[in-house]
Amino acid sequence: MIVQRHTFLQEQRQPFIVRAMELKDRVKKARKHASLSQVELAEKVGISQASVSEIERGLSRTSSHLLRIALVCKVNPVWLSDGRGEMEMPMQQDHVEQVELQAPQWRNVPIVGTAQLGPEGYWLSLGPGDGYVFVPTNDPEAYAIRLRGDSMAPAIRSGWVAVCGPGSEPAAGEYVHIRLKSEYDDGESMVKEFLYCTDDAVHVSSVNSAYGRKALTWEQIEIIHAVTMLVPPSQVRAY
């Protein structure tokens, strides 16, 4: 799936305004709103306390468990994930059941290639022998890529796997997988933090300040897909 400049943020003319409250702040506020400790929230959501801690410390910029966290804490799922709207949103039981039915389904997502967390990360196609990850997603076109380098440390470590969703729109402050056309930099493949876009270019950044920001023209870009979750190498499975 190739994302052209007019297929998302078509009418955007100015850079994004960074939201004052980040995901880590919203999750912590939601947890306190529900009067839960990290351990209690983790138990109710079905994840580890370490996972909750990573989100609240800003080490995880996205999570597949936000819907469940919102339901447990009784807050607006859209506010929790995107910062839009009010935090509190009264839910009737039938609405809760409807939201739960729309929760992502677990499926095998193949690891199809690599992406660099620094410069000179050229696309390397991987075959079935490199395995898959079993993750929750409703995107039928979801794919996974192995990550290399240290430009995103400590938020993302080399060797981890990024699950990408072609059906998800890139959001400011979150990660994206970008692959350049082969005639530009031999098809460089990278994962960066998405900052904003204009009619002419996409602006991205590395977490590690030593690598700085980068502007890529639309003519350079072959694909730009949102990274929907990060998976540790221990979760990679062989076919």
The pLDDT of residue 16 is above 50: no
Q: In terms of residue numbers, what domain contains 181? A: 106-237
Predicted local distance difference test score (pLDDT) of residue 35: 93
CATH of the domain at 146: 2.10.109.10
Using the 3D structure, point to which of 101, 136, 153 is the last residue of a domain: 101
Question: Do 167 and 110 share a structural domain?
Answer: yes
The count of structural domains within the chain is 2
Q: Is 5 contained in some domain?
A: no
Predicted local distance difference test score (pLDDT) of residue 142: 93
Q: Is 6 contained in some domain?
A: no
When the pLDDT of each residue in the chain is averaged and rounded to a whole number, the result is 78
Predicted local distance difference test score (pLDDT) of residue 27: 93
- Residue-wise pLDDT for 86-109, tens only, equals 888 654 444 444 444 455 688 899
Question: Do 183 and 123 share a structural domain?
Answer: yes
Q: Please, which contacts does 72-78 make with residues 24 or more away whose CB atoms are closer than 8 Å?
A: 72/34, 72/36, 72/41, 72/44, 72/45, 73/30, 73/31, 73/33, 73/34, 73/36, 73/41, 74/33, 74/34, 75/30, 75/33, 75/34
- Residue-wise pLDDT for 104-125, tens only, equals 688 899 999 888 775 555 667 6
Question: What is the pLDDT averaged over residues 9-31?
Answer: 66
Question: Do 189 and 75 share a structural domain?
Answer: no
The model's pTM:
0.57
CATH of the domain at 33: 1.10.260.40
Q: Is 14 contained in some domain?
A: no
